[in-house]
Amino acid sequence: MAALPPLTAVRAFEAVARHLSFTRAAEELGMTQAAVSYQIRILEERVGAPLFLRKPRQIALSETGARLAPDVGNAFDMLRDAFADSRGQIDGMLRISSVPTFASHWLAANIGLFQLANPEIAVRVESSAHLVDFGAEEFDVGIRATSKPQEGMVWHLLLKAEFAPMMSPKLIEDYEVREPADLLRVPQITPDDPWLCTWLELAGLTMPAAANRPFSRLGSQTLEVAAAIAGRGLAMVTPAFYSDEVASGRLVQPFDILGWDGHGYYLTYPEARRNSPKIKAFRDWIVPATAGLRTRQG
């Protein structure tokens, strides 16, 4: 069996190849930049070829480095995942990072069913709109809204991010909303919302130029729906999340027209961890649990 190169040198190569930066790799590894460069030289001597092309103010992988980088990166991913699984088996914890809208309007109400079915697995849910770096953050799975799933990850569609105008019953009455064109007279919580422009086009209408006036940008469907229920204006949101508000009469979707720009809510996790028992248990629960939402969307 051929001897392995020094692990410290391989670690340095993986970090530099991932960041394409000696400085950022050194910061991540807690080493000086000179020490990282030294480890790269050791590895280059071992393989007998340069691993990086050094250019003014930037570096690039050489042909040899480009061949090595994917396999080395995958090997470190497998190591991280093996230790993460070991930690998870010891503490029985499934760590979920979810976008706020899905977390507050579906996951929070249903995660207890997963725990009842899997009492040996504790769950920690964190709400964040940021993409998960599974190599650097201690999360097992993510739930993200995207139109372009990232390569190298497993993605399961949970729900299409369809959208439609929704508002309070009083607002519909006050503005006598009977047909889509009537919406042009209704105050809009976010006047330049691209979803609104797309929806109006589906209804055969054109969005007029926004008046030169200040307006609020609330930044999440949860806040926009709260404003809509309070009668502040129409909100462009995903109706599937608000069936309870509609059933209670606090919110109305006045028209059946639904827009969709290709975005969806996805369960995602690294390919190398697809057979992790706790990830498999969560996947096998949440995909069927959201099937009714997808069926109603068609």
For domain 164-247, give the CATH number. 3.40.190.10
pLDDT over 90 (residue 286): yes
Which residue spans of the chain are classified as CATH 1.10.10.10? Answer: 7-72
Per residue in 224-272, pLDDT tens? 999 999 999 999 999 999 999 999 999 999 999 999 999 999 999 988 7
77: its two tokens: 């991913």
Residue 27, pLDDT score: 86
Per residue in 113-143, pLDDT tens? 999 999 999 999 998 877 766 666 678 999 9
Residue 198, pLDDT score: 93
Residue 86, pLDDT score: 61
Which residue spans of the chain are classified as CATH 3.40.190.10? Answer: 92-161+262-297, 164-247
Separation in Å, CA 113 to CA 17, 39, 108, 109, 118: 42, 50, 10, 9, 9
For domain 92-161+262-297, give the CATH number. 3.40.190.10
**Contacts of residue 200, Cβ cutoff 8 Å, sequence gap at least 6:** 180, 183, 184, 206, 207
Residue 276, pLDDT score: 86
Total-model pTM: 0.69
Give CA 224 to chain center in angstroms: 20
Closest CA to 266 of 122, 161, 112, 152: 161
Other Cβ atoms closer than 10 A to 57: 4
Residue 215, pLDDT score: 43
Residue 216, pLDDT score: 44
Per residue in 22-81, pLDDT tens? 988 888 888 888 888 998 999 989 989 999 998 887 899 999 999 998 888 888 877 776
Identify the residue with better confidence: 82 or 226: 226
Residue 220, pLDDT score: 78
Per residue in 158-192, pLDDT tens? 999 999 999 999 999 999 999 999 999 999 998 77
Phi and psi at residue 181, in whole multiples of 5°? -60, -25
Domain spanning 7-72, CATH class: mainly alpha
- The whole-chain average pLDDT of the chain stands at 87
Confidence of residue 213 (pLDDT cuts 50, 70, 90): very low
Can you point out the beta strands (E) in 27-102?
A: 52-55, 58-61, 93-98
B/e letters for 171-191, b = 16+ CB within 10 Å, e = fewer, are bbeebebeebeebeebebbbb
